[in-house]
A and B are shown apart, each in its own frame.
Chain A
Amino acid sequence: MSTPATLWPPVRDEYERPLESLALPDSLAPEAPLSPATRLFAQGWLRKTLIALVLIGAWEVAARIIDNDLLLPTFGATFSAFVQGVWSGELLVKTAVSLSVLLRGYLLGAALAFVLTSLAVSTRVGRDLLSMLTAMFNPLPSIALLPLALLWFGLGTGSLLFVLVHSVLWPLALNTYSGFQAVPATLRMTGRNYGLTGMRHVLLILVPAALPSILAGLRVGWAFAWRTLIAAELVFGASSGSGGLGWYIFQNRNELYTDRVFAGLAAVIVIGLLVEHLVFDTLERVTVRRWGVQQ
């Protein structure tokens, strides 16, 4: 039989050796700087700017091939319309109107979501209420409620706020509540161990522990609110006195200023990008990333 399993390993000598201080040759230095190209490409903003430039290039080429300003204006035309709109102040005023309504609706929706989820974590009835309401209303598009809102609140900010709250409340409440539920039992018990109950337990333990989910909910809520607002302004902006960005887009489409339509859309995109990268990314960096609860 000569299978390896039957062979015994030899008995070898034991040894001990004293540890000397570690002296590495320079070629094995523990750290070395990365090459400049690698470091540059590691910058997220640079990669994203490159992607944006490629997309803009593709747009310009497509517009020149189609060669019809009414259907697809070039990037250059859109850019000049955008600059002109900003310069004349019209675009800025419309944006300010939209943003002020948006912020009010967003904060109102977030506050209501907080109340609902706090109720849901502290009482069983609250939990049932939240799960029923979100199941009923979350799939309902905000814009579908607009006719009803117009009936109840008339043309104007009231109706806009109503649909905005509807668009923010449910996704945010759903995210926040699932975040609360995912808080480890040990952490909850730790809080109760110190005599924290009710609102203090929610504010001092659950909210910070669920912050990754809450931030995700705030992001989703922001996007939903933006869409809903622009869509709502498109539908009845024509009748309200001081319209917002949606109204600007609608008006210019009616007058076939397609470059200005694109400028309005670009304003929506630019604000979305700014909020995403300046507000939410910063919030994440100083909280959940710093705490190591999100990569």
Chain B
Amino acid sequence: MAANPTLLFPEHAAPAAPATSGKLLTVENVSLEYRTRERLVRATHDVSFDVYGGDRFVLLGPSGCGKSTLLKAVAGFIEPSAGAITLDGQRVRGPGADRIVVFQEFDQLPPWKTVAQNVAFPLRVARKLSKAEAHERALHYLDKVGLAAFAQAYPHTLSGGMKQRVAIARALAMQPRVLLMDEPFAALDALTRRKMQEELLRLWEEVNFTLLFVTHSIEEALVVGNRILLLSPHPGRVRAELNSHQYSQDSFGRADFQRSVARIHHLLFEQTEQNEQNETTEIVQ
């Protein structure tokens, strides 16, 4: 037996001794390119950031800033044209079950599997758990997202919010090193979205995972994240890295929250606003 159990379970040790976690995911000078029929498009240019263990790290930027592409590169679906992505000191090469992605689209759940089978499926194929173990763990995480009663239902009978909960349960059951979420709530209605943000934060407190979260909503970034990377419009470059750990779902109306929203808005759109002003002055002249 180990003399100090906190060495075995460092995440449980965190509240007892306020030690801080180390770097988990490093993105260094990454440039991403994708090819269309006619040309080569640079999605992000020279982006660097570090995600620490237990972070709720948000990539925020206007559409077309390459934040989703960046997340897919971390997931291993896209090879960076320059730079390196490392997880636990290991270079990321190709997709792997240590980085599970929750997508925005509802069709990420195989329709031919029931809810429980959906959650158990990656445990079976990637973690090589026995059928009984996989099923048990699936039910445990379905219970965590409040869907235990729907274990035997097929995905097409669920609402959009419930489908996203299943996807989250499936990702958490895999206990990945980093949970990657690509605008997971963007296709939901506004009320469901707020509820899901709340639930995600509750799950984070319960399960304690590391999250990399992509969004284009400033409010969502402030509420969900503890650290926000702002990306400039096309091609995505790092504009700023901000803290948002002080905000929660209750902060919506607060003055400092509103100030942060305004500050981020300014950082994101200052350039374009200036351009527009220049254009108008030119027209006036």
Cα distance A287–B97 when bound, in Å? 28
A204–B108 touching, CB < 8 Å: no
Chain B contacts of A196 at CB under 8 A?
Answer: 125
Of the listed stretches A51-59, A110-118, A122-130, A181-189, chain B binds A181-189
Query: Of A186, A192, A193, A291, which is within 8 A of B107 by CB?
Result: A186
Known: A195-B126, A291-B156. A205 touches B110 (CB 8 A): yes
A187–B157 touching, CB < 8 Å: no
Task: Output the nearest chain A residue to B180 by Cβ-Cβ distance.
Answer: A193
| Contacts of B42-100 to chain A: CB distance below 8 A | 72, 75, 77, 95-97, 99-100
Known: A193-B100, A195-B126. A186 touches B156 (CB 8 A): no
Cα distance A206–B165 when bound, in Å? 24
Task: Output the nearest chain B residue to A290 by Cβ-Cβ distance.
Answer: B154
A194–B107 touching, CB < 8 Å: no
Query: Of B72, B77, B110, B112, which is within 8 A of A287 by CB?
Result: B112
From residue B284, how far is it (CB to closest CB) to chain A in Å? Answer: 34
B112–A186 touching, CB < 8 Å: no
Known: A195-B125, A204-B125, A292-B157. A186 touches B108 (CB 8 A): yes
From residue B34, how far is it (CB to closest CB) to chain A in Å? Answer: 13
Query: Of A186, A189, A291, which is within 8 A of B111 by CB?
Result: A291
B105 at the interface (CB under 8 A from A): yes
A211–B112 touching, CB < 8 Å: yes
Mask of A198-231 contacts with B, CB within 8 angstroms, 1/0: 0010001100110100000000000000000000
Cα distance A222–B110 when bound, in Å? 28
A187–B154 touching, CB < 8 Å: no
A293–B156 touching, CB < 8 Å: yes
B221 at the interface (CB under 8 A from A): no
A84 at the interface (CB under 8 A from B): no
Mask of A66-109 contacts with B, CB within 8 angstroms, 1/0: 00000000000000000000000000000000000000000000
A282 at the interface (CB under 8 A from B): no
B105–A292 touching, CB < 8 Å: no
Mask of B146-160 contacts with A, CB within 8 angstroms, 1/0: 000000001111000
A190 at the interface (CB under 8 A from B): yes
Cα distance A290–B112 when bound, in Å? 8
A192–B77 touching, CB < 8 Å: yes
From residue B72, how far is it (CB to closest CB) to chain A in Å? Answer: 8
A193–B75 touching, CB < 8 Å: yes
Q: What is the number of contacts between chain A and chain B, taking CB atoms within 8 Å?
A: 64
Known: A290-B154, A292-B111, A293-B156. A195 touches B96 (CB 8 A): yes
Task: Output the nearest chain B residue to A208 by Cβ-Cβ distance.
Answer: B112
B103–A194 touching, CB < 8 Å: no
- Kindly name the residue among A194, A195, A290, A292 whose own CB sees the greatest number of chain B CB atoms within 10 A: A194
B105–A184 touching, CB < 8 Å: yes
B154–A194 touching, CB < 8 Å: no
A194–B126 touching, CB < 8 Å: yes
Contact count band on B = 20 to 34
Contact count band on A = 20 to 34
B122 at the interface (CB under 8 A from A): yes
> How would you classify the secondary structure of chain B's contact residues: helix, strand, loop or mixed?
mixed
Chain A contacts of B134 at CB under 8 A?
Answer: none
Cα distance A290–B108 when bound, in Å? 18
Known: A204-B125, A292-B154, A292-B156. A194 touches B97 (CB 8 A): yes
Mask of B249-260 contacts with A, CB within 8 angstroms, 1/0: 000000000000
A189–B122 touching, CB < 8 Å: no
| Contacts of B94-148 to chain A: CB distance below 8 A | 95-97, 99-101, 103, 105, 107-108, 110-112, 121-122, 125-126
Chain A contacts of B125 at CB under 8 A?
Answer: 194-196, 200, 204
A187–B107 touching, CB < 8 Å: yes
B103–A186 touching, CB < 8 Å: yes
Chain B contacts of A200 at CB under 8 A?
Answer: 125
Chain A contacts of B111 at CB under 8 A?
Answer: 209, 291-293
B112–A194 touching, CB < 8 Å: no
| Contacts of A206-261 to chain B: CB distance below 8 A | 208-209, 211
Query: Of B100, B108, B122, B126, which is within 8 A of A187 by CB?
Result: B108
From residue B122, how far is it (CB to closest CB) to chain A in Å? Answer: 4
Cα distance A204–B120 when bound, in Å? 14
From residue B237, how far is it (CB to closest CB) to chain A in Å? Answer: 26
From residue A166, how far is it (CB to closest CB) to chain B in Å? Answer: 31
Instruction: Give 19 A-B pairs besides A189-B72, A208-B110 with Cβ atoms closer than 8 angstroms.
Output: A184-B107, A186-B103, A189-B77, A190-B103, A190-B110, A193-B75, A193-B96, A193-B99, A193-B101, A193-B122, A194-B121, A194-B122, A195-B96, A195-B125, A200-B125, A208-B112, A211-B112, A287-B112, A291-B112
Between-chain CB contacts (< 8 Å), 18 pairs? A187-B108, A189-B75, A189-B101, A189-B103, A193-B99, A193-B101, A194-B97, A194-B122, A194-B126, A195-B97, A195-B125, A196-B125, A205-B110, A208-B112, A211-B112, A291-B111, A292-B155, A293-B111
